[in-house]
Structure 1
């Protein structure tokens, strides 16, 4: 907590900031900040109060932005967060066309696997993979996010083609590192889902790097079909089908979702971006549009 920095931002003495906070604590009848001679930090109730105030300020900001843009062309800064591989391969080409159509919208794109809180992190649109979100967001399903096992023809000629989960242990794996841990491969047999004990030959949090290593005949890769489709079509990689299911999760519906807050959808820049991206990206690999049944809101 830095009173001096806050005072500088508002152009007032630091003592004024301290007095205003003390006045607020008196009005509320609670201690918002715990003060010592060396530190100032939020109390537990102070942290809860700040969270609620931030939510209210965000709604006020949205309302002002909505009124300001009501009768004008979509404009302003649009903040988008997306998974790196999906962002590079599919989102960025779509955004290039979006920028041509809406030149007054400034795109601020963050490529990261880290989870985001749309309200707290001031993100207008997020694209994430996994199960359908259960929190207070609208989730538009863009892709089923089916995982595919693949390798180069040269690698398979040298090492053989695995047909079962057990045979995978004789092969080299090119594995993805998520934001918190290595993403393990999961197989399904008669005893249920279990981790496949395969030895990594290369690990990266960049899907493009994993694909490049696979094309260099360094091992097997297990990635989303949308990331591999061009390489499979050109024959640089070959899709493998095992006798038992293999994925990076233990069953359940998965997908790539476009996420946004319903309260921000009425803002022109957000509305046109959601409509454009769903139309472009939900076509996916099958050429079919996202159906209403694939959409969820919370």
Structure 2
């Protein structure tokens, strides 16, 4: 039995949930796909797939098995690509995942210049707050914010990700400028929705960190929309300095300084991080992209 081929078939069936779709991708009959996977199941002595006349899905043990197989197959593909491209001009498809706001404001302009420098690299950019597994999701580079990741990845810090409370001068003239955490209860908030919930504002007082009770007037997972609403005088916004920099410099928004710290997390080091697998860094397209983005977007505090 060609076990490698059987594993490739299994991966594609798991991804497409269809023997016929997997067969079309490989250009072979669906019966060949089914037979190879059945041979693999007999060799392992377990059932990897639940099959009915209409559906196919992984069994519990199939899911566990495939997690390990996927990582191994990804490493094998990386090794093949590394050997084939080691002495060539950087090329191929580069898959990047980034937070929407950071991606739109900072990453995409940088990638436009990167694409001009490396025209043989096809950029496949996915903007999402959802967490990714670089190996499983076949992502070459990810850009994420928060605490420094502890996963099995290489981490390069791009930005310290300081959070700033801001509002338009017109809003503050109408509602007054808050000076304390308690003053925020008399104001409206423009709040960011993360992948799982609305991100609450946290204040640090004499008794430690606490959630700030503030009335939201607008909620969105799009930072640009929150900034636009702030510029329309709809409320206070608490966002990263890199997102607000342009509006602050133009005077559309102004910083609001409180007597105690305010943020979206309860202390601890936070930042914007570029993540990649060390095994993929040796591939030319990944290596040049990492170094370009660190040079272009890094704040010098890595």
Q: TM-score, normalised by structure 2?
A: 0.91
Structure 1 residue 33, shift from structure 2 partner: 2.1
Aligned to 2:273: 257
**Aligned equivalents of 2:53, 2:284: Cα separation in 1:** 48
Aligned to 2:194: 178
Aligned to 1:239: 255
Aligned to 2:34: 18
Deviations 1:63-91 (CA, angstroms, capped at 9, x unpaired): 11111111111111111111111111111
Deviations 1:40-75 (CA, angstroms, capped at 9, x unpaired): 332222111111111111111111111111111111
Structure 1 residue 174, shift from structure 2 partner: 0.8
SS at match of 1:126: strand
SS at match of 1:65: helix
Aligned to 1:212: 228
Q: 2:65 aligns with which of 49, 52, 75?
A: 49
Structure 1 residue 18, shift from structure 2 partner: 2.2
SS at match of 2:88: coil
Q: Which aligned pairs between 1:101-180 and structure 2 lie closer than 5 A?
A: 101-180=117-196
Aligned to 2:11: none
**Aligned equivalents of 1:206, 1:39: Cα separation in 2:** 37
**Aligned equivalents of 1:223, 1:255: Cα separation in 2:** 13
**Aligned equivalents of 2:72, 2:116: Cα separation in 1:** 34
Deviations 1:150-209 (CA, angstroms, capped at 9, x unpaired): 011111111111011110010011111111111111111122211111010111111111
Preserved CA contact (<8 Å) 2:93 2:121:
yes
Q: TM-score, normalised by structure 1?
A: 0.92
Structure 1 residue 264, shift from structure 2 partner: 0.2
Residue 165 to residue 52, structure 1, CA distance change in 2 (3 Å) = same
Residue 240 to residue 258, structure 1, CA distance change in 2 (3 Å) = same
Structure 1 residue 110, shift from structure 2 partner: 1.3
Structure 1 residue 107, shift from structure 2 partner: 1.1
Structure 1 residue 17, shift from structure 2 partner: 2.3
Structure 1 residue 34, shift from structure 2 partner: 3.1
Ranges in structure 1 where 5+ consecutive residues have no aligned partner:
284-288
**Aligned equivalents of 1:92, 1:262: Cα separation in 2:** 24
Is 2:302 aligned against 1:273? no
SS at match of 1:244: coil
Count of matched residue positions in the alignment of Structure 1 and Structure 2: 286
Is 2:109 aligned against 1:93? yes
**Aligned equivalents of 2:25, 2:249: Cα separation in 1:** 55
Q: 1:63 aligns with which of 75, 79, 103?
A: 79
**Aligned equivalents of 1:4, 1:87: Cα separation in 2:** 36
CA RMSD, 1 decimal? 1.4
**Aligned equivalents of 2:265, 2:234: Cα separation in 1:** 24
Ranges in structure 2 where 5+ consecutive residues have no aligned partner:
1-16
